[in-house]
Amino acid sequence: MAEQKRKYFGTDGIRGRVGDGVITPEFVLKLGWAIGRVFAKEGRSKVLIGKDTRISGYMFESALQAGLSAAGVDIYLLGPMPTPAIAYLTRTFHAQAGIVISASHNPYHDNGIKFFSGKGTKLPEAIELEIEAMMDQPLVTVDSALLGKAHRVDDAAGRYIEFCKSTVSSKLDFSKLKVVVDCANGATYHIAPNVFRELGADVIVMGAEPDGLNINQDCGSTEPRLLQAAVLENEADLGVALDGDGDRLIMVDKQGELVDGDELLFVIARAQQRAGYGQKDIVGTLMSNLGLEHALEKYDMKLHRAKVGDRYVMEMLKKTGGIVGGESSGHIICLDKTTTGDGIVAALQVLDEMQATDSSLHELRSAVSKYPQRLINVRVKKMVDLSGHEDVIAAVKNVEKQLGNEGRVLLRASGTEPVIRVMVEGRDAVQTNQLASDLASVIEGILKA
């Protein structure tokens, strides 16, 4: 069925401001029940629940637990855990589904619910539609003898730490590396530092004191300025910035320069190729920089562009037979290691390549010469379809004419925030910035009108 027919689910679960719309305890309780009823059709089921560190996670964890129990489903509570950890543990527990309470890189006042299948992958759209249909049914509690039971998993963090370490050779020794790790005051605060320490690195920790309100605040992959300064101040070899739920990765080289998802994707793809098991087909998105595309071509690899969103990157990987894909924002999927985007696992693959080639991160990323790219987020009160608007079409054609074959234009509505993203890419930075500003102004004018 067409994606636009979904009533609640976006590109990455259900997300919004706490207390507004559907992000309320009442809705989430009913959602837990609906999920439970869908999976209980196959008999007694168990579902894992994990969360990030935002304060509302406690409230929604309880609501989901009540709803699932009412549907006759057993619950395994993981506590604060990264999104990719929940995907992994759902598989190893042989659970029917995993639920993540998180709004990823958003501020604390937002929250959301996203799901993994028993295989550790995003739920198929057909299942999401089935859950939405169940939401329209009256909530009926199973007989008391059949109520779901709740269990707390005390060793979840340790299990996931060992998994992360297993994605690189046990012969690797990071003892010569000094690494600054920024956990975004999020779900990796008690995991990421331990992974790098146990592999021998000298670790300096940032953003590992969550208080329920400071998740992603001036830290993590969306705000890496303090990490850049810390790498330089501590003369570290590199910095690792994760987001609030641990599925995004941005790195900083020893010069204090940012290394984004496009550059990391290239490093990992090249590492796989050098090791002899890489694929020619690499998956990026519509936002991936032209410089990445050209760098891959030099090594006989082809970039396939999916729609923005790790769901679509995964679909394109399956379609092309590729094993590595990602987004500029730092979602990196290594299908030879795990089933979903994983910031810690991706970082380890980069460190592995540094060791294997005796290269610095700065040297590895230098093969990608990025085109200047300007991204402007135009905030909207209500999402509108601008694709058929004559003034928008004319403005885009004008920008494309000025860029010629030396750049790209992209307009897209965000799947997670109330913004329209205006992106212009070209060889000349001054021209690119001006064209992006002009186009954003046209969009803002239309929206105000």
Least confident of 350-359, 412-421, 434-443: 412-421
Of the three residues 365, 392, 412, the one that is the final residue of a domain is 365
Q: Identify whether residues 28 and 96 lie together within a single domain.
A: yes
Q: Is the pLDDT of residue 3 over 70?
A: no
pLDDT at 292: 95
- CA dist 194 and 85 (Å) reads 14
DSSP string, 381-443: SS----TT-HHHHHHHHHHHHHHTTSEEEEEEE-SSSSEEEEEEEES-HHHHHHHHHHHHHHH
Of the three residues 338, 365, 392, the one that is the final residue of a domain is 365
DSSP string, 95-119: -SEEEEE--TTS-TTEEEEEEEETT
pLDDT at 10: 83
394/283: higher pLDDT: 283
Cα 41 to the center of its chain, rounded Å: 30
Nearest CA to 64 out of 102, 92, 93, 94 is that of: 102
Of the three residues 365, 388, 423, the one that is the final residue of a domain is 365
What values do phi and psi take at 205, rounded to 5? Answer: -105, 135
Q: Is the pLDDT of residue 175 over 80?
A: yes
- CA dist 53 and 69 (Å) reads 23
pLDDT digits (tens, 9 = 90+) for 233-264: 999 999 999 999 999 999 999 999 999 999 99
Q: Identify whether residues 83 and 136 lie together within a single domain.
A: yes
- CA dist 146 and 360 (Å) reads 57
Catalytic site positions? 104
Q: How are the residues of the chain apportioned to helix, strand and coil, as percentages rounded to the nearest 5? A: 40, 20, 40
Are the beta carbons of 46 and 96 closer than 8 angstroms? yes
- CA dist 168 and 346 (Å) reads 10
Q: Identify whether residues 327 and 252 lie together within a single domain.
A: yes
pLDDT digits (tens, 9 = 90+) for 371-401: 998 999 998 877 677 777 888 889 999 999 9
Q: Is the pLDDT of residue 1 over 50?
A: no
Are the beta carbons of 80 and 188 closer than 8 angstroms? no
Beta-bridged to residue 238, according to DSSP, are 179, 253
Q: Is the pLDDT of residue 447 over 90?
A: no
Q: Identify whether residues 305 and 221 lie together within a single domain.
A: yes
pLDDT at 2: 41
Q: Identify whether residues 229 and 122 lie together within a single domain.
A: no
pLDDT digits (tens, 9 = 90+) for 70-127: 999 999 999 999 999 999 999 999 999 999 999 999 999 999 999 999 999 999 889 9
- Average pLDDT, integer, range 274-299: 94
Q: Identify whether residues 142 and 220 lie together within a single domain.
A: no
- CA dist 398 and 162 (Å) reads 53
Q: Identify whether residues 233 and 115 lie together within a single domain.
A: no
Are the beta carbons of 311 and 10 closer than 8 angstroms? no
CATH code of 210's domain: 3.40.120.10
Q: Identify whether residues 289 and 403 lie together within a single domain.
A: no
Looking at every residue in the chain, the average pLDDT score rounds to 94
The model's confidence at residue 6, banded by pLDDT at 50, 70 and 90, is confident
The gap between the terminal CA atoms of the chain, to the nearest Å, is: 34
pLDDT at 380: 82
pLDDT at 416: 66
Per cent of the chain over pLDDT 70 is 98
Nearest CA to 220 out of 242, 236, 252, 203 is that of: 242
The length of the chain, given as a count of residues: 449
Q: Identify whether residues 74 and 31 lie together within a single domain.
A: yes
- Average pLDDT, integer, range 40-59: 92
- Average pLDDT, integer, range 22-50: 93
- Average pLDDT, integer, range 147-153: 97
- Average pLDDT, integer, range 416-424: 85
Q: Identify whether residues 143 and 205 lie together within a single domain.
A: no
Are the beta carbons of 173 and 356 closer than 8 angstroms? no
Q: Identify whether residues 381 and 346 lie together within a single domain.
A: no
Overall number of domains in the chain: 3
Per cent of the chain over pLDDT 90 is 83
pLDDT digits (tens, 9 = 90+) for 221-231: 999 999 999 99
Residue-range definition of the domain harbouring residue 121:
3-154
pLDDT at 23: 96
pLDDT at 405: 79
Q: Identify whether residues 334 and 400 lie together within a single domain.
A: no
Q: Is the pLDDT of residue 20 over 80?
A: yes
CATH code of 436's domain: 3.30.310.50
343/381: higher pLDDT: 343
